[in-house]
Each structure stands twice: as structure tokens, then as C-alpha cells.
A and B are shown apart, each in its own frame.
Chain A
Amino acid sequence: MISNMIKHLVATGLALGLGSAYAESLTKIGAGEGKLDVVAWPGYLENGASDKKYDWVTGFEKETGCKVNVKTAATSDEMVSLMNKGGYDLVTASGDASLRLVAGKKVQPINTALVPSWATVDSRLQSAPWHTVGGKHYGVPYQWGPNVLMYNTTVFKTAPASWATVFEAQNLPDGKPNKGRIQAYDGPIYIADAALYLMTKNPALGIKDPYELNEKQYAAVLKLLRQQKTLTHRYWHDVTVQMTDFKKEGVVASSAWPYQVNALKTEKQAIASTIPTEGATGWADTTMLAADAKHPNCAYKWLEHSLAPATQVGVAEWFGSNPVVPTACKTKAPGGSDFCTDNGFTRYEQIKFWRTPQAKCSLKEGCVPYSRWTKDYISIMGGR
């Protein structure tokens, strides 16, 4: 209570007293401040400590004199709360967090003129709606990736063509039903996966965007998810547990991240992944600059460095994601893999990127907001 009031007072004070100082973004990059504090996904900023081959931080530190401190966050919500606490310069926010940060005035617009490599960024991502608000860019794209359909190759000799594998009761290629052998994701954002499937399966519903659903479309999506509930082995929440389930629990198909696919392949498991004909949901992460960044010069230097092909390629191969600089696909990766093909770079058009569903949307009747997604998904997982 009291702390809230203090926070409120401080925030108001900042807005009144310092507002003008932060309203204008930097116009010229000066000397580095010697330090840079970043909130990032695990694996996003590697300094060679995990694997000597994967290091795109040490060189930057030597070149600019900016010592990089990384605070890793496991969920988008953790990122938002870390940024709310303050004290960080940059954050690699996903689409379900970035707009919340903009709305909460925790991040500031970027002066793209100070990031020369901005021109090399995929033109489709330059003005993506999850970081561009009112014509201003609140960050520089970093990486993106799809939520793939992971499957067991001893059961599926050819890749399953449709998400129906996990949504509709059916017999799998080995002749046994899919009941109890598939999984769904344990997060309300998964409602979008069901909506995406219905876009193709039932065009009469008129779903244009899986993150913008009116009441009628939403009801149809929930009906599908309730049907799916009877088929699921369980809702996966934790990557390690999902990997155990594929190895030891007889689960053969589920939505998953490239991370699990790559990890299971490394263990020589009979696992592969695909993006079915309906397309897939995905994430696109943006490096955003904190509104009260203490080291703006180092931050801008990093923004430029984050787009360098070597950085982009390293992250993409290490994390299982795609570069936002298309030319980076031609650069050789530290591990030598064809990461752009592996991680679905050519399927960009089929990816519907994570966004927080909001009541105010492009539909004139309005959309069902995320809070209701959360509430209803909890009911569905609980069997109601």
C-alpha cells in the first residue's frame, strides 16, 4: 500500500520533473558509460561460458568498453516485473510483453538513425505492431521463431499435415487413437493456436486474426478446446517434463518450441517437427530500451551490435530461432547447421506472432480481452 503510494509519487515526480529529459530520444551516441544491464531470455546473450563457440558478448565488451550484465528471465511476466522494478537498460521482450511495457511507459522510442544496421532488418519486422506504436519504434527486432508441431517419427513416417492431429479425435498412422498421446500448451495464449486451426477448418466463422476474436468466434474456439481436453495426455508447462513425456510417457504429438525439438534430437530421440498447413503461432522478440536507462550510449552500441550477422547467427543456432536480418541466413553458423531451414525462416508468412489480446481491436464489435482468455482457459484445463 504505502510502497505503492511511494512508487506512485516517484513516478509522478519523474513524469513532471524529468519527463522532458526522456521524451526526446538520443540524437548522438557519445562515449560508452562502461556498463550495460540487460534483461534477456536464457541463451540470448552468450559470452562463451556455456559453450566457447557461442560468444557474441565478449567482443562487444572489448570493442566498446561496456561491461554487459545479463539478468535472465524465464517468462514474459517476469520480464515485465523486472522492468517495472527498474535499473535495467535493455530487455528482449516478446510480443505478449512488449505492448504492456510500452503502455506502462517503461520503454522509450528508439532513434533508428543511430542504429545503422536498422536498414538490414527484415522489412516485414521493421514496423511490426508489437513494437511500433503511433509510428514510433520502441525497440529493435532481435529474433523470432514458430511454435512447431513436434512429433515422434516412429509413429509418423511423414510429417503430420494438420493441427487436427492434436485437436480432433482420430487414429494416428500407427492405427491407435490419439487419445492420451497428445499434449496442449498450459497457457491461455494457446487459445490462439485453436483459433488459428479454426481459421482454415471453419472459414464461415470469419476469424481474420487469432488474437482478435469476437464473442461468437471465441465461443467456437472454446468448444474446440473443450473437445481437445478429452484427448490430452496433459497440458505441458515445463520443457523438461514435456521432453520426459515424449521419451517415457508415450506422448507422440504436441505443440512445442524448437528448443525441445533440438534438445531431443541431440539426445538421438526419434523426434522431428513441422509447421502444418494451417501455419503456426510464434514469438518475435524485440530489444527494447528502458525509459530510464542509465547507460543509453552503451545501450545504443548494443542495439547496433545485436543486428550484426555474427550475433544474429549465433543466437539463432544456439536458441533455435530465426535471425531478423535476412542476409544472416547466408552466414556460416558456429555449429555449421542450416539454422534458417531448421527453424522455419521461409515460413514467416504462416506465423501469427504472439500478441496480448485486447478488448479494443480492429473488429468494430470489440474483442475478448486476455483476462477472459486466462479465466476460460483455467476452466477448460480444470475440465469445465
Chain B
Amino acid sequence: MQTAITNPILRSFSNTLYRKNNWFLLLLLTPPLLWFGVVYLGSLFALLWQSFYTFDDFSMAVTNELTLGNYRLLFDSTNLDIIMRTLSMAVAVTLACACIGFPIAYYMTRYGSAREKGFFYIALMLPMWASYIVKTYAWTIILSQQGILYWLFNHLGLTGALNAALQLPVIGGNTLATSNLGRFIVFTYIWLPFMILPIQAALERVPTNLLQASSDLGAKPAQTFRKVLLPLVIPGVVAGSIFTFSLTLGDYIIPQLIGPSGLYIGTMVYTMQGSIGNMPLAAAFTVVPIVLIFIYLALAKRAGAFDAL
């Protein structure tokens, strides 16, 4: 049912807007743009602005004097350690997620029946319905020395191999739960769905006849993969890797609960902000992932990752 506008003010208002599309558009877009600009970007810039404030080590107070000292501090050996530690983990996790995720996504799209697809979707999403904290705590038990992984290795007679792996300098540690290897496993587990779903979406969009054409023209499967499929799917892989990369860079729960004791960017921000109120250095640290992601996107763009978009 249509009701005529009876209110004279509303009517004159709607008459004014008639055939003035720009005004109409502006009115429609202003609220969401305000939200985006003020709440979203505004708070981000307010935070970043704090990174130029001065933190006085003696009074442990923040003053409004502007300085670049916090950024200089980032290159301090301890802090550089933290950045490199986080960055290398993020890269490793991203590569592992891509290597594991691609075949799964490929199978889902190309070979899975409707039932199988449904199963895969549920299997992927199911862990995401459980709380992230609960999953991480569960992993502390799975990885512990009396946990199921050690039990499994023991029964397979592979305890020696596991201990040898834990002796390795970078990935090793006292036990699985306190090693970088353990932390890497948990990170890969937690972020894997964020890699598979975008790759799967990208694969769905690749027309099958392109692949058939490629093989009709004499390309070997490997060639078809490299020259046809991969270039078309790369935007999906990049999208997924942005998730896994940035989520690992910013995470502060897993590094607290699993793995060796060195801080990550996330835990460092938490400590600086929390225990001593050094908001400026915490803010400077938050700039690091932003810069790293920008560098990563620039590299991806250069490599032609977005050409197919």
C-alpha cells in the first residue's frame, strides 16, 4: 500500500530532492562515510598520532612533546628481534597455509560432489565457531609432553625424530609446547580457513573450459597449472595470505600461551600499553604491521598478483 506524503515539510523536502541526484546520493552516503571517516580512520590516526608523543622513562608519564624517538627505538636490537621474530613467523605461517590450503581448495572446487563440498565447508567453518581462546588452550594440552602428539610419535617409534627436530636451532625448544615448531603448528591450524576460503572463491571463478583449452592445445598439466590456473587464482591466494600474514603479525594470544618466551609485536604492544603505560612506543609498534603489509601489497602488485582482478 502506498501512502501519499501528507506532511507538508516532508513533501517540500522530497520535492527539493527531485531530479537532484547528487544531493540525494550525498544524503545517503554521509552517515556511512562519517562512520568510516571518524570512527574507523579517525581513531586509527588518533592512535598513530600518539606514537609521536614522548614517554619519560623516569616519571613513567607521557608528555605531548613530539618526537621521533619511538620510531628510533624500534631499531633497538631487542625491538628489532621482536619484529623479525614476528615477521618470520608470519611468512612461514602464510607459506604453510598456502601450501596446505591450495590442494584442499582445488579438490573442493574441481572434484568435490555437492555433498563433499558441504562437508568441506562445514569442516572448515566448524573450528571457527568455537572460541579461539578455547582452541588455543586445547592446543597447549595437545602439544604437552603427556599429550596426544607425543603419544602418537611414541607409538610410531618417532620420538627420536621429534627430539632431533626439537634440537634444531630456530624451530626447536625444550618441548613441543615451548618450541617455535609448536607455535607454528598452532598458528597454521588457526588461520588455515582464512586461506582456503578466498582461494576456493577464486578457483570457482576460473572457467573449466580454459583448462580444457589449455590441454587441447598441448599443455602438460604442470604447464596448465603454472600458465593458466595459477595466474587466475593468485589474487585469491594473495587475499588469503593477507589474512594469514596480518593476523599472525597482530596476534597476541598464541605467543603468550604456546612456544618460547620472546615477545611478539602483539604481546609487546600489550605489555607497553598495559604494564607501564608507554602508549607512544605501543603506538609505534602498531605502525610496524601496517608498514609491513603495505610493503607486502606493493611486492604482490609488482609481481602481477592483481592483474587478473
Contacts and interface: CB of A to CB of B under 8 A. Distances in A.
Interface of A: 1-3, 75, 77-78, 180, 186-188, 229, 232-235, 237-238, 240-241, 244-245, 247-250, 359, 369-372, 374-375, 378-379, 381-384
Contacts of B260: 234
B174 A234 contact: yes
B261 A381 contact: yes
Interface stretch (B24-32, B115-123, B139-147): B139-147
Contact of A248 (B50, B82, B141): B141
B78 A187 contact: no
B271 A374 contact: yes
B262 A382 contact: yes
A24 to B, nearest CB: 28
A248 B58 CA distance: 42
A91 to B, nearest CB: 17
A2 B46 CA distance: 8
B141 A378 contact: no
A52 B137 CA distance: 29
A77 B275 contact: yes
Given A233-B178, A244-B144, 12 more contacts: A2-B46, A77-B275, A187-B275, A234-B260, A237-B256, A241-B137, A250-B145, A369-B57, A370-B276, A371-B57, A374-B275, A382-B85
16 contacts: A1-B49, A1-B50, A186-B261, A234-B261, A237-B257, A238-B256, A244-B140, A248-B146, A250-B175, A359-B58, A374-B275, A378-B82, A378-B263, A381-B263, A382-B261, A384-B78
Interface of B: 46, 49-50, 55, 57-60, 77-78, 81-82, 85, 137, 140-141, 144-147, 174-175, 177-178, 256-257, 260-263, 268, 271-272, 274-278
A328 B59 CA distance: 39
A381 B268 CA distance: 12
B178 A248 contact: no
B145 A382 contact: no
B221 to A, nearest CB: 46
B130 to A, nearest CB: 17
A371 B60 contact: yes
A164 to B, nearest CB: 20
A245 B137 contact: no
A369 B85 CA distance: 27
A188 B274 CA distance: 12
Contact of A238 (B257, B271, B272): B257
Given A249-B145, A382-B82, A384-B77, A371 B262 contact: no
A193 to B, nearest CB: 16
Contacts of B174: 180, 233-234
Contacts of A245: 144, 177
A371 B276 contact: yes
Closest 8 CB pairs of A and B: A382-B262, A248-B144, A248-B146, A77-B274, A379-B78, A235-B261, A180-B174, A381-B261
B175 to A, nearest CB: 6
A361 B80 CA distance: 32
Contact of B137 (A3, A240, A371): A240
A378 B268 contact: yes
Contacts of B268: 378
Contacts of B50: 1
B81 A382 contact: yes
B274 A75 contact: yes
A180 B174 CA distance: 6
A232 B137 CA distance: 21
B245 to A, nearest CB: 22
Contacts of A229: 261
A128 B239 CA distance: 57
A78 B78 CA distance: 26
A301 to B, nearest CB: 33
Contacts of A235: 261
A359 B58 CA distance: 6
Residue among B58, B60, B257, B261 with the highest chain A CB neighbour number at 10 A: B261
Contacts of A375: 78
B276 A374 contact: yes
A245 B176 CA distance: 12
Nearest to B78: A379
B168 to A, nearest CB: 16
Contacts of A180: 174-175
A370 B82 contact: no
Contacts of B46: 1-3
A247 B144 CA distance: 9
B51 to A, nearest CB: 12
Contacts of B55: 371
Contact of B175 (A249, A359, A381): A249
Contacts of B49: 1
Contacts of A374: 271-272, 275-276, 278
A304 to B, nearest CB: 33
Contacts of B77: 379, 384
